[in-house]
Amino acid sequence: MIDRATIDKIMDAANIVDVVSDFVTLKRAGANLKGLCPFHDDRTPSFIVSPAKNYCKCFACGKGGNPVGFIMEHEQISYPDALRYLAKKYGITIEEREMSKEDVQRQDDRESMFIVNQWANEWFQHQLYDTEDGRAIGLSYFHGRGFRDDIIRKFQLGFCPNQHVDIEQTDEAGNKRRVRMGVMSNEALKAGYQERFLINDPETGMGTGLSLKRDKGGLGDRYWGRVIFPIFTMSGKVVGFGGRVLDAATKGVNVKYQNSPESIIYSKKRELYGLFQAKQAIRKQDLCFLVEGYTDVMAMHQSGIENVVASSGTALTDDQIRLIHRLTDNITVIYDGDAAGIKASQRGIDMLLAQGMNVRLLLLPDGDDPDSFARKHNAEEYQRYMAEHQVDFIKFKTNLLLEEAQGDPVKKSQLVNNIVQSIACIPNEITRAVYVQETAATMQMQERLIASAVARQVEQDLQEVQKQRERERERRTLDRIAGGTPPPPDAEDQRQPLPTDIPLPTQEPGNSSDSEASPYAPLVQNIQDRDALRLQKKERELMRLVVRYGEHILGTVTDAEGEQQAITVSQYINASLAQDELALVLPIHRQMLDIALEARPEVTTEHQLINFPDPAISALAFELATDQEQLSRMHQQKSRYSVADNQTPLSTIVNHIMADYKLEIVAQQKRQIMRLLQDPELMRDPQRYLQVMTQYKDIKDVEKKLSEQEGRVII
């Protein structure tokens, strides 16, 4: 147990920014900090850290807490273990009795497996340094590969001897027999670790897989006769191992590496080798190098390049990309020059682009990999080559494929289509436009042709996503019918209301009045992807108002205490959306609105957004502040008026555009109801038919009210 005084000492020392920064790259956002949420697939920063309150929270998934709560959630550990984690981080001594065999048995299965892995990691290192075979075989192997002792210790490498012992066991019937045990497995059992945590059950994922159950009894060592590479979580816990057969034994061996089996604590597709050792350097350099193998990572560290991780020979996964994206937006993928391997890895590049990463590629010469290249060059030469030979993925693809397509129109067309597919993966439309320009210039083609091809590919991708979602909905519906239980709602269909402390003015902004409940809330719950695309155009008009006039005062409202409070354009838009439980469709729009709400009063919203550190936000803000061509004719006319122009009050423009936005949502709701009314089954259910018709009448009333506010006439 940990005494109360020690707990208080840990809580006083733990700083939420310091703790979260070990796992998430944070950027200043007013009085708080923002970053990508580590608890869900977050592509735009929604994770807020408040230094003043020593608290963090994701406003998308809701997870967070104080420093202890954050560590408990992130590492999936108990409250006492989270306290121990923070105590170790801040150098606070905890007086506890040593964990006994009974203590281990009381631990949950997950924590017990981590304990076994940590023991094994230390045992492997002891074998490497403190035994004759370890030094003669294991350490000599690493030295022969050119690795220094400090690098070997940094990555906590080890060795598992090719040894066994024969022991006597008694079976359930009381019969004694001699069985063969791997030396590591035998030592683990003698140390008090249970067999069920040493072996692995593939069905339940229970057990580390350090040992293998023999048919004739006893346990064998999975990594016998191999050098050991421990694999760490981002926080430094040993989650698994990779064992490499020694060079002298590789003849006739197809698989040189033996990895930990899938378990409740380890999945190869969710881990990156070297991430624990690289995380600080990745944050500092704001760049991550991605290589293939364990020794590639070590070789680059030895050459002074520490911001590097490895996918461990597997195809890159979304989970691995998210781990990197928490630390940086920039990644350079290093290839060893094998053309077939490069072409096969293009899907991984597209996955990186789809998650909003800035991707550069680097090709090593003469078929070298990072390990062999390091053995041929000193650290200075290595670093200089890395700095000088990184190229944009468009240039890389073009240089790689253009030579073989030279003089062949069909192959050149295929090359262009290949690049178009990659550009279409990029979620940010401004970034896509930049790459379209670059591709057109590189390929000496008209920009409009490339842009048109990208637009078609984006539309095809959206349609494919929609088809997949429809198939998934159909599957859940069939499951519901078969099981008699309703399916959970789609995550993409859930809309969370934006929080606000500002009452929504129900009269013309500028007049004080008490707010009343909105007659049209909520307007919609389920919006199809194609409908969301229509809303995006309406959202651009709202965001144009935020960028140009966000800090301007529309009027005053009466707060709960009866006091008159000024309300800005940004606050009015936010409050109007929140009152009707609506959220902007595009994450970048939501982020820009949040920034506008937090903007300093002495700086214009336009200046704040255009000079924001995120280049995507600053570029879009600049476009909205200066571009007149995309405005509708009516809004184009209104935008020529200055804020001080009494001919067209700003409040009229804001009300009109907000009503226009909500009218689009109402139109979508009408389309949904009309589809329901076309269902023949509905006509056979008079009660349900009456309910739908009532909903349709309510929607028409809402449409009329909004149209009057906007100035249209609905018959």
Q: Cβ(161)–Cβ(134) under 8 Å?
A: yes
Among 453, 430, 422, 286, CA closest to 354: 422
The confidence score (pLDDT) of residue 186 equals: 94
Assess whether 297 and 411 both reside in one domain: yes
Q: Is residue 471 part of a domain?
A: no
59, 79, 96 - which closes a domain: 96
Q: At what angle do helices 529-549 and 447-483 cross, to 10 degrees?
A: 120
Assess whether 261 and 306 both reside in one domain: no
Assess whether 81 and 140 both reside in one domain: no
Residue ranges, the chain, pLDDT below 50: 103-105, 480-528, 627-647, 711-715
Among 429, 335, 461, 443, CA closest to 394: 443
Here the CATH number for the domain that contains residue 237 is 3.90.980.10
The confidence score (pLDDT) of residue 518 equals: 35
Which region holds residue 407: left if phi is over 0, alpha if psi is between -120 and 50, else beta?
left
The confidence score (pLDDT) of residue 338 equals: 60
Q: Cβ(244)–Cβ(238) under 8 Å?
A: no
CA 685-687-690 angle, to 5 degrees, is: 105
Q: Is residue 476 part of a domain?
A: no
Q: Which two tokens stand for residue 356?
A: 């909003």
Range of the domain at 529: 504-710
Assess whether 585 and 650 both reside in one domain: yes
Between the two ends of the chain, the Cα-to-Cα distance in Å is 74
Assess whether 238 and 174 both reside in one domain: yes
Assess whether 522 and 409 both reside in one domain: no
Look at the chain and report how many structural domains it folds into: 4
The confidence score (pLDDT) of residue 190 equals: 92
Assess whether 274 and 261 both reside in one domain: no
Q: Is residue 628 part of a domain?
A: yes
The confidence score (pLDDT) of residue 441 equals: 86
Assess whether 538 and 654 both reside in one domain: yes
230, 250, 266 - which closes a domain: 266
Assess whether 79 and 113 both reside in one domain: no
Assess whether 345 and 361 both reside in one domain: yes
Q: Is residue 334 part of a domain?
A: yes
Q: Cβ(289)–Cβ(298) under 8 Å?
A: no
DSSP 138: I
* Euclidean distance between CA atoms 547 and 283, whole angstroms: 30
| 526-567: pLDDT as tens digits | 444 566 677 778 888 899 999 888 888 887 777 666 777 788
The kind and range of the H/E element at 459 are helix 447-483
Assess whether 132 and 230 both reside in one domain: yes
* Euclidean distance between CA atoms 270 and 257, whole angstroms: 18
Q: Is residue 590 part of a domain?
A: yes
Long-range contacts of range 371-375, CB-CB < 8 Å, 24 or more positions apart? 371/145, 371/293, 371/295, 371/296, 371/298, 371/299, 373/299, 374/146, 374/299, 374/300, 374/302, 374/303, 375/146, 375/299
The confidence score (pLDDT) of residue 708 equals: 64
* Euclidean distance between CA atoms 277 and 32, whole angstroms: 28
457, 486, 517 - which closes a domain: 457
Q: Cβ(127)–Cβ(159) under 8 Å?
A: yes
The confidence score (pLDDT) of residue 499 equals: 29
Q: Cβ(131)–Cβ(161) under 8 Å?
A: yes
Q: Is residue 619 part of a domain?
A: yes
Q: Are strands 164-170 and 158-160 parallel, antiparallel or unpaired?
A: unpaired
The confidence score (pLDDT) of residue 230 equals: 97
Provide the β-strand partners of residue 277. none
Q: Is residue 498 part of a domain?
A: no
pTM: 0.59
Q: Is residue 533 part of a domain?
A: yes
The confidence score (pLDDT) of residue 142 equals: 95
Assess whether 557 and 671 both reside in one domain: yes
Here the CATH number for the domain that contains residue 309 is 3.40.1360.10
